[in-house]
Chain A
């Protein structure tokens, strides 16, 4: 398992090469790269700032990787998430999974991405012509997580 939070960019080819290096049991690698759009919720976006919670972010991602390892037949996971100020077309996140066969790699990659969206503490603030604004969480992301039959995130304080 390898998880990195960093300000700098990453190289997909180099990450995948290192993920499968020295593991001849790998028959498939699936990689997802998320990037910054120039448009969101009806506004042009000229920049995006990503904040995280050092320590907790890594721990939350590790917990998701542990779940993926328990659930899917996979060999290795590489997750890189950028923080700081990013521009449209910049890469934000990489989730790469190696496995003996493609089915588990596809499934685990999507599982991890759905968890990253809803379980790992990151926050996005985008710059639009109307000013800066925090990005709202999407209901569709919780729905994506629910497909895996796991509890949806706690909404703290709504019910006591």
Chain B
């Protein structure tokens, strides 16, 4: 199934704004992240866990255990600094 990926701020600067990938049905956000990190050195560096990096599924902040569905939008980004 196809999943839309979005990256922001420092992560966007490494990986670009957007990509679309094919993943097996039933995959979790954490498993998706592992696949991405295994795919390239840039992904491994940009998506490394920690430093408050967060992810969102369909515009809502999520845990890595969240299950991704067909056509979902998954985003990875650094800590929020608005206001």
Interface assignment of B80: CB less than 8 Å from any CB of chain A = yes
Cβ-defined contact, A122 with B63, below 8 A: no
Cβ-defined contact, B82 with A157, below 8 A: no
21 contacts between A and B (CB under 8 A): A53-B6, A53-B59, A55-B59, A56-B59, A56-B60, A120-B82, A123-B8, A123-B80, A123-B81, A123-B82, A134-B81, A137-B78, A141-B83, A154-B54, A154-B61, A156-B49, A156-B61, A156-B63, A156-B64, A158-B50, A160-B49
Q: Which residue of B lies closest to A93 (CB)?
A: B83
Given contacts A154-B63, A157-B64, 20 further A-B pairs with CB under 8 A are A51-B12, A52-B82, A60-B61, A93-B83, A117-B80, A118-B80, A119-B61, A119-B80, A121-B77, A122-B82, A125-B9, A134-B9, A134-B81, A137-B78, A153-B61, A153-B79, A157-B33, A157-B49, A157-B55, A160-B49
B1-29, CB under 8 A of A: which get 1 and which 0? 00000101110100000000000000000
Cβ-defined contact, B82 with A93, below 8 A: yes
Main secondary structure of the interface of A (DSSP, over half): mixed
Interface assignment of B72: CB less than 8 Å from any CB of chain A = no
Report chain A residues within 8 Å CB of B62.
154, 156
Q: How far is the CA of A76 from the CA of B43 in the complex (A)?
A: 43
- B65 CB → nearest A CB, Å: 8
Q: How far is the CA of A155 from the CA of B83 in the complex (A)?
A: 19
Point out residues on A near B: beta carbons under 8 Å: 34, 50-53, 55-56, 59-60, 81, 92-93, 113, 116-125, 134-137, 141, 153-158, 160
- A76 CB → nearest B CB, Å: 20
Cβ-defined contact, B8 with A156, below 8 A: no
Report chain B residues within 8 Å CB of A34.
83
Cβ-defined contact, B64 with A137, below 8 A: no
Q: Which residue of A lies closest to B56 (CB)?
A: A56
Report chain B residues within 8 Å CB of A120.
80, 82-83
